[in-house]
Protein backbone atom coordinates (compact mmCIF):
# COMPACT_ATOMS: atom_id res chain seq x y z
CA UNK A 1 0.00 0.00 0.00
CA UNK A 2 1.24 3.52 -0.78
CA UNK A 3 0.84 6.35 1.71
CA UNK A 4 1.50 10.04 1.39
CA UNK A 5 4.72 11.26 2.90
CA UNK A 6 3.94 14.92 2.30
CA UNK A 7 1.37 17.23 0.80
CA UNK A 8 2.33 20.57 -0.75
CA UNK A 9 -0.10 23.46 -1.06
CA UNK A 10 -0.08 26.11 -3.79
CA UNK A 11 0.93 29.64 -2.86
CA UNK A 12 -1.24 32.72 -3.39
CA UNK A 13 0.07 33.40 -6.89
CA UNK A 14 -0.61 29.85 -8.03
CA UNK A 15 -4.14 29.97 -6.62
CA UNK A 16 -4.80 33.32 -8.23
CA UNK A 17 -3.59 32.09 -11.62
CA UNK A 18 -5.81 29.04 -11.36
CA UNK A 19 -8.95 30.97 -10.37
CA UNK A 20 -8.44 33.52 -13.14
CA UNK A 21 -8.12 30.76 -15.72
CA UNK A 22 -11.45 29.18 -14.75
CA UNK A 23 -14.58 29.95 -16.69
CA UNK A 24 -17.16 31.54 -14.43
CA UNK A 25 -20.33 29.62 -13.71
CA UNK A 26 -23.27 30.32 -11.45
CA UNK A 27 -20.95 30.02 -8.44
CA UNK A 28 -19.15 33.14 -7.29
CA UNK A 29 -16.93 31.50 -4.69
CA UNK A 30 -13.73 29.52 -5.09
CA UNK A 31 -13.73 28.10 -1.58
CA UNK A 32 -11.35 26.68 -0.23
CA UNK A 33 -8.94 28.80 -2.26
CA UNK A 34 -7.13 31.45 -0.26
CA UNK A 35 -8.08 29.80 3.02
CA UNK A 36 -4.83 27.88 3.47
CA UNK A 37 -2.56 30.22 1.55
CA UNK A 38 -3.47 33.24 3.65
CA UNK A 39 -1.97 31.39 6.64
CA UNK A 40 1.22 30.66 4.65
CA UNK A 41 0.92 26.91 5.08
CA UNK A 42 3.23 25.46 2.47
CA UNK A 43 3.54 21.77 3.24
CA UNK A 44 2.35 19.01 5.53
CA UNK A 45 4.75 16.20 6.35
CA UNK A 46 3.39 12.87 7.50
CA UNK A 47 4.98 10.23 9.69
CA UNK A 48 5.22 6.62 8.63
CA UNK A 49 2.30 4.42 9.59
CA UNK A 50 3.32 1.36 11.52
CA UNK A 51 1.13 -1.71 11.58
CA UNK A 52 1.34 -3.97 14.62
Q: What is the pLDDT of residue 6?
A: 92
Q: Are the beta carbons of 3 and 50 closer than 8 angstroms?
A: no
Strand partners, 44: 7
* 1-47: pLDDT as tens digits: 778 899 998 888 888 888 888 777 776 666 676 778 788 888 999 98
Q: What is the pLDDT of residue 31?
A: 66
Q: What is the pLDDT of residue 45?
A: 93
Any domain includes 25: yes
Range of the domain at 18: 6-45
Any domain includes 40: yes
Any domain includes 50: no
Domains contained in the chain, number? 1
What is the secondary structure of 21-51 as a DSSP string?
Answer: HSPP-S----TTTTTSGGGT--EEE-PPPP-
Distance separating alpha carbons of residues 18 and 33, to the nearest angstrom: 10
Cβ neighbours, 10 Å, residue 32: 9
- pTM, to two decimals: 0.56
Residue count of the chain, please give it: 52
Any domain includes 51: no
Amino acid sequence: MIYLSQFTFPDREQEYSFTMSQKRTCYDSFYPFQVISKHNLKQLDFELISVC
